[in-house]
Chain A
Amino acid sequence: MTDSRTKYSFYVEQNALEATDRPRRFLEAFAAVLEHSSYNLPLDVYSRASVRCGRCAADCQLYQSTREDRDIPCHRSELLLRVYRRYFTRSGALAARFGNGFTLTDEYVDEMAEAYYRCTACRRCKLTCPIGIDHGLITHLARWLLAEVGIAPKALVVATREQLEGVGNTSAIPVPALKDTCEFLEEELKENFDVDLKFPMDVEGAEYVFFPAVSDYLLEADTLMGNAAVMHVTGGSWTIGTGNYDGINYGLFYSDRMMERIVKNEVAEVRRLKGRKILIGECGHATRSAWFVPTFCGPDAPEVVNCMQYTARQLREGRIPLKPERIEERVTYHDPCNIARAGRITEEPREILRAICRDFVEMTPNRTENYCCGGGGGTVSIDEIRKFRTGPLGRRKADQIRATGAQIVVSPCANCKKQLREVCEDNDLKDVQVVGLHDLLLKVLDFGPAREAARRAAGEPAADQTAGSPTVLARSNV
């Protein structure tokens, strides 16, 4: 007998061989998650109480444009609930014995992968479901289980790898480049606003340790300058930690395992710097994932504050001086799902916008009921699906923006901003500008009092009052 392997020199990719093994590994991961996390409660209740009424379809922007069955939120959730019932409940096992022949197959895993990544996990359908099923939670779990069998968007995995095992952040910005960028921004601020402002680095004992979406250092310099300017005029005690300066957490989109590691890195940096609070920049999912800090690290973990919460409070307390000029263009506000859907941050940005804009209009619907930009759940990072994102997913958003007639769309979220720009480009809204909230605030911020204080502190004589008296806006006169 000759060894067949020497006769036929076949070679099989390890991955290709494992592909047929995915159902088993999916179920193993499912079992581990049920044991060590606490998804059994919602799965149990939802799989027993779901009534298949189809109300969610009316509220899903994706289903509204594609009209495909697989895009009905309830249908999508049912994909995972069926697996749960069949393999993890006694009644399901019994039903299977009596001939309900559902078996988890490779094709079924593919079907789930497709369905759960067409959904942006915006959780809008939860508001319509008469039973109150949180379809976003099911998508969140399904994506994690899929990731455990090796199905996750490359863009998200590569960025997370860079963050956890590479340079230390998703945009692969090394510390010297970060410092250069911040120095450049300081010069910009000096040149444009005549203000001596520092981006504090590694200051120990600061109240806030700052975690923006790290991509802001490359793409959204105005937002960062706005953040720094607000901290400057309000005398806030803050710092950027060179050990970790990235708030992005793609774990929220595909794996609790990654999310936990990233969240713990943030906490470790705050502890290293002996800081007290985590200050998140203008980023929706960075904020929501940081809200999971106590979940993964326990109740003693540092408090999480979004920069808009900080700014709105300072504005309310009259500590943010504004120039007499206001933003004249018509401005509208897009609520990022991750911070607005549960109603946690909806009013703060509006307070700020009403204070700085002359013509602020709302989109309808707004706040907790706002439509997703179409790039949620990490899909915005996948450039290959831009057509899908700005078409079926983003069309509703484009219509919403068009209806307001606004020239400026404000969104305090790096992902929403990228997606909204592409939505506007692809949907014939070329004149609409998409900016962050602190970008706009920077334009009307009055550095006069801060300059004055600095001069006085340095023992220089007071400068003449320049044109227009600075107005400090309190909430009452907005």
Chain B
Amino acid sequence: MHAWLEWARGPAFVFCFSFMLLGLVRHVGVTIWEIRRTLRRAGDRSLPLTAIVKATLTWLLPADRLRREPLFTATSILFHVAILVVPIFLAGHIALWARAVGVSWPAIPNALADVLTILAVVTAAGLIAQRLAARATRALSKPQDHAILILLALPFVTGFLVMHPGLNPFDYESVLFVHVMSGNLIFLLMPLTKLTHAALLPGTQVVAEIGWHWPKDSGSRVGAALGKEEEPV
């Protein structure tokens, strides 16, 4: 088991984490490239920049939505905060980074990490419940939408058990192995699944605006490509 754990923490982690990083950078790069290309070809290059910045901030900090759908919005915000803060700012994780590459940053107290971890698991369960309960969401959901929430909760459940050996009924190293591997799997899936939204969300507002900025004469060019220039209406 020990060798497996070393493999999971070593080469497997390096591969998955690099895969995520490069994958997300590629997504962002491709999007920025496309935005530039679209704007360069656009007939109308003026953009309502203030409105876009405002919309982007509103979408990243959806405070006004709390008023409209308090339960779902609160669950979703807490879930996102918890799953982002704990892995990055946990003292144990920072220590690993410091040992491996020699960089470190301020950590959150372990007690707070515990609270956020429990919160992550509870809100993930809440989101699954919501997916099953709300008619429209149930209709849209595919099996992988539920699976990914379970996968996201897994490192938090196992992480909590690792941090509190007294509460852990299983073998310490096995739980740690599941913890590391589920984390690795999430990294691996980040650029391949809808988790990509982690990198693309800040750009969606500008994309929605630029999506309407077509090239000059684009309509007639499509007509020409389809051989329909002379076709009557």
Q: Identify the A interface with B (CB < 8 A).
A: 28-29, 32-33, 35-42, 44-45, 48-58, 63, 67, 69, 72, 74-75, 78, 126, 128, 130-134, 137, 148, 157, 160-161, 164-165, 251, 255-261, 292, 294-299, 342-343
B93 at the interface (CB under 8 A from A): no
B145 at the interface (CB under 8 A from A): yes
Complex alpha-carbon distance, A160 and B69, angstroms:
42
B204 at the interface (CB under 8 A from A): yes
CB-CB < 8 A to A38: which residues of B? 37-38, 41-42, 210-211, 213-215, 218
The segment out of B162-170, B175-183, B193-201 that lies at the interface is B193-201
Complex alpha-carbon distance, A165 and B65, angstroms:
48
Q: Which 9 A-B pairs have the closest CB atoms?
A: A54-B137, A260-B219, A57-B136, A42-B211, A132-B204, A294-B44, A36-B221, A32-B225, A49-B197
Complex alpha-carbon distance, A260 and B223, angstroms:
11
Q: Identify the B interface with A (CB < 8 A).
A: 27, 30-31, 34-35, 37-38, 41-46, 51, 55, 59, 62, 65, 68-69, 72, 76, 131, 134-142, 145, 194, 196-197, 200-201, 203-205, 207-208, 210-223, 225-226, 228, 232-233
- The CB with the most chain B CB atoms within 10 A, among A44, A52, A67, A137, is that of A52
Closest Cβ neighbor of B199 among chain A residues: A49
- Distance in angstroms from A137 CB to nearest chain B CB is 5
Complex alpha-carbon distance, A134 and B55, angstroms:
13
- Distance in angstroms from B142 CB to nearest chain A CB is 7
Instruction: Answer whether A260 and B217 are a contact pair too, CB < 8 Å, given A45-B207, A299-B44, A343-B51.
Output: yes
CB-CB < 8 A to B76: which residues of A? 130
- Distance in angstroms from A313 CB to nearest chain B CB is 19
- Distance in angstroms from B139 CB to nearest chain A CB is 4
Contacting B214 at CB < 8 Å: which of A29, A54, A295?
A: A295
Contact B222 A58 (CB under 8 A): no
Contact A41 B27 (CB under 8 A): no
CB-CB < 8 A to B51: which residues of A? 342-343
Contact A297 B216 (CB under 8 A): yes
Instruction: Answer whether A41 and B226 are a contact pair too, CB < 8 Å, given A260-B218, A260-B219, A295-B213.
Output: no
Complex alpha-carbon distance, A188 and B223, angstroms:
46
Contact B43 A296 (CB under 8 A): yes
CB-CB < 8 A to A260: which residues of B? 217-220
What DSSP secondary structure best describes chain B's contact surface? helix
A-B contact pairs, 16 of them (CB 8 A): A45-B31, A48-B200, A51-B145, A52-B142, A52-B145, A52-B194, A54-B136, A57-B134, A63-B136, A72-B140, A74-B140, A130-B76, A165-B232, A295-B213, A296-B216, A298-B216
Contact B41 A33 (CB under 8 A): no
Closest Cβ neighbor of A257 among chain B residues: B219
Contact A32 B201 (CB under 8 A): no
CB-CB < 8 A to A37: which residues of B? 214-215, 218-219, 221-222
- Distance in angstroms from B117 CB to nearest chain A CB is 23
Contact B218 A36 (CB under 8 A): yes
Contact B216 A137 (CB under 8 A): no
Complex alpha-carbon distance, A280 and B215, angstroms:
23
Complex alpha-carbon distance, A256 and B225, angstroms:
14
Instruction: Answer whether A41 and B38 are a contact pair too, CB < 8 Å, given A36-B215, A49-B196, A260-B217.
Output: yes
CB-CB < 8 A to A299: which residues of B? 43-46
Complex alpha-carbon distance, A74 and B141, angstroms:
11
Contact B136 A32 (CB under 8 A): no
Contact A54 B140 (CB under 8 A): yes
Instruction: Answer whether A137 and B222 are a contact pair too, CB < 8 Å, given A55-B69, A74-B140.
Output: no
CB-CB < 8 A to B232: which residues of A? 161, 165
Contact A44 B34 (CB under 8 A): yes
Contact A294 B223 (CB under 8 A): no
Complex alpha-carbon distance, A75 and B135, angstroms:
13
Contact A45 B204 (CB under 8 A): yes
Contact A75 B194 (CB under 8 A): no
CB-CB < 8 A to B211: which residues of A? 38-39, 41-42, 134, 137
Complex alpha-carbon distance, A148 and B31, angstroms:
28
CB-CB < 8 A to A74: which residues of B? 140
CB-CB < 8 A to A51: which residues of B? 145, 194, 197
CB-CB < 8 A to B216: which residues of A? 295-298
Closest Cβ neighbor of A258 among chain B residues: B233
CB-CB < 8 A to B222: which residues of A? 29, 32-33, 36-37, 256-257
CB-CB < 8 A to A261: which residues of B? 219-220
CB-CB < 8 A to B207: which residues of A? 41-42, 45, 132
Contact B43 A126 (CB under 8 A): no
Complex alpha-carbon distance, A56 and B137, angstroms:
9
Contact A161 B233 (CB under 8 A): yes
Contact B204 A131 (CB under 8 A): yes
Complex alpha-carbon distance, A343 and B58, angstroms:
15
Contact B225 A36 (CB under 8 A): yes
Contact A44 B31 (CB under 8 A): yes
CB-CB < 8 A to B137: which residues of A? 52-54, 57
Contacting A295 at CB < 8 Å: which of B37, B43, B220?
A: B43
Contact B219 A45 (CB under 8 A): no
Additional A-B contacts beyond A37-B219, A131-B197, A157-B233 (9; CB < 8 A): A32-B225, A49-B204, A128-B65, A137-B211, A257-B228, A258-B219, A294-B46, A295-B43, A299-B43
